[in-house]
Amino acid sequence: MNKLPLISSPLSEAWPSWLLLGLLLCMVMAEVLQPETIKMSFRTTFSRMERMFGDSAVNFLGAVALNIYRLCIISLTLYLVCYKGGDFSMRTYGLILLAIIAFVACKSFCAWILSYTFDLRRVASLYLTQYSNLWTALCIVLYPILLVFVNVGHHNFFQWLILIIAGLFCIDILIKLVQHFYQGLSSLGYIALYILTLEIIPIVVLVLGVRQIA
């Protein structure tokens, strides 16, 4: 009797588990090459500390490993949240990863232009460091959830859990943004404009794009 082929899904495909194993190695490498990467990311998330990450020196390979970890975790998270059924393919994941990389590159360029135009380079440097650490903490929290997600099955519970956690971290990011750039009532308009144009609208466009790809 011929065996029926398994339906392609996060549960039946092997590549998500191998991907997560590789990302775990990336995170371990980042922590070894840049000690206290994990500790600093969570301290930044739950305090008003303005200490710069990597005060001594940023290890190039450690930074590369950390960025690979974050980009791939965010890409896999969006894929799982937006997945509607059908082939759960690595090719589709690759397209989503490329979209995330393009999104981050464009967003970083726009943030640099704004900080240079309004002479906010010093404050922006502090904020962007904390912003980076917040995303690191988010990816670390998401990792075990994704690990269970791809090995247990495609359940709405995990999707909602991911959305709730991501929402809480986004709120924290907005709080940090106000803490760094608030200089009176007159600054609220600029902060609101930044949040709308460089946070909310790009993320909405990105999610809609990923939904089309997935």
Mean pLDDT of the chain: 80
Task: Give the tokens for residue 2.
Answer: 């011929």
C-alpha span between 118 and 191 (Å, rounded): 12
Reported as a single tens digit per residue, the pLDDT across 86-121 is: 788 899 999 999 999 998 888 878 777 766 766 666
Using pLDDT thresholds of 50, 70 and 90, give the confidence band for residue 40.
confident
C-alpha span between 145 and 159 (Å, rounded): 10
Quick check: is 1 in a domain?
no
The structural domain count of the chain equals: 1
Tabulate helix, strand, coil % of the chain (nearest 5).
80, 0, 20
Quick check: is 208 in a domain?
yes
Domain span including residue 52: 15-213
Which segment of 12-26, 39-53, 56-70, 84-98 scores lowest on mean pLDDT?
Answer: 39-53
Quick check: is 79 in a domain?
yes
CB 8 within 8 A of CB 89: yes
| % of the chain exceeding 90 in pLDDT | 27
Quick check: is 5 in a domain?
no
Bigger pLDDT: 57 or 20? 20
**Which amino acid makes up residue 70?**
R
Task: Give the pLDDT score at 79.
Answer: 92
Q: Among residues 35, 53, 33, 34, which one has the least CA distance to residue 43?
A: 53
Quick check: is 58 in a domain?
yes
Answer yes or no: is pLDDT of 48 > 70.
no
Bigger pLDDT: 56 or 157? 157
User: Helix crossing, 90-117 with 60-82: angle to 10°?
Assistant: 120
Reported as a single tens digit per residue, the pLDDT across 61-83 is: 988 999 999 999 999 999 998 88
Q: Among residues 129, 100, 161, 122, which one has the least CA distance to residue 34?
A: 129
Task: Give the pLDDT score at 118.
Answer: 63
Q: Among residues 193, 168, 50, 58, which one has the least CA distance to residue 117?
A: 193
Output the pTM of the full model. Answer: 0.83
Quick check: is 4 in a domain?
no
Task: Give the tokens for residue 134.
Answer: 């917040």
